[in-house]
Amino acid sequence: FLDAVRAAPDDVALRLAVAEFYNRIGKRHVAEPHLRHVLQPQSAATAAQSALARRALALDLGTFGNHRQYVEAIQLLDKNLAQEPNSLLDLRAKALVLAERGNRNSLRQALHIYRQLDERKRLTLQDRLVMAQLHITLDEWSRARTILRELFDNPTSPPSILAFGLKAMLDKGES
């Protein structure tokens, strides 16, 4: 990959592919410079490629970074949402970044986004699981229980989601 980047340093598609590869194998520090290169003003990136780079960088910074990086992550996602307010990918990414922050205000903001997605009937099973986790963290067990029961009733829920739900119910003394 790196030889290809040296040969074609301004190839946006290549930079995005390299960043995706390094993100997948957990080397976010190697992916970041490629994403930032795509976001440079002189880059030939299309609007869609720039949005993808901002989203990927935001997820990296927001879920693994410090407070300054978290702020940058939210700004990157807000820029995407300013250009495409109904972007499900950016709304989900923002909810995940907010959920990772861990403070009550951020957790409530994440829940608000998930509720908006739910109103549009756009929640995935993973989104529902994160919602349940947020409710548990916020000591809103009755809401979490309702979501978990919905997940139990869904025949497409994977075993990992069912296992989490079962453990949460048992931890609360329920069956």
Residue 117 CB partners (closer than 8 Å, separation 6+)? 88, 91, 92, 95, 123, 127
Task: Return the pLDDT at 9.
Answer: 86
Which DSSP letter does residue 44 get? -
DSSP per residue, 12-28: HHHHHHHHHHHHHTT-H
Task: Return the pLDDT at 3.
Answer: 85
Distances in Å between the alpha carbon of 172 and those of 2, 24, 125, 141?
A: 50, 35, 22, 9
Q: 5 pLDDT band (50/70/90 cuts)? A: confident
Task: Return the pLDDT at 45.
Answer: 96
- 14 neighbors 8 (Cβ within 8 angstroms): yes
Task: Return the pLDDT at 162.
Answer: 95
Residue type, 53: A
Give the pLDDT confidence of 88-147 residue by residue, as tens digits: 999 999 999 999 987 999 999 999 999 999 999 999 999 999 999 999 999 999 999 999
Task: Return the pLDDT at 64.
Answer: 85
Give the pLDDT confidence of 39-85 residue by residue, as tens digits: 999 999 999 999 999 999 999 999 888 999 999 999 999 999 999 99
| Joined tokens for residue 136 | 């548990």
Query: d(Cα 94, Cα 96) in Å, to the nearest integer?
Result: 5
